[in-house]
Amino acid sequence: MYTGKFGVWTATIMLMNTTQSFQYNRRGGATLE
């Protein structure tokens, strides 16, 4: 139960980081263009 909760929390953090990185890359690409 505790491990599952930690796994969900880790997945959420990773997903948020991936989304932020994706948005940052898109913004950077738009700036370069």
What pLDDT does 19 receive?
82
The pLDDT, as a whole number, for residue 33 is: 46
* 1-33 per-position pLDDT tens digit: 666 788 888 889 888 888 877 776 676 655 554
The amino acid at residue 8 is: V
3-state SS of the chain is CHHHHHHHHHHHHHHHHHHHHHHHHHHHHHHHC
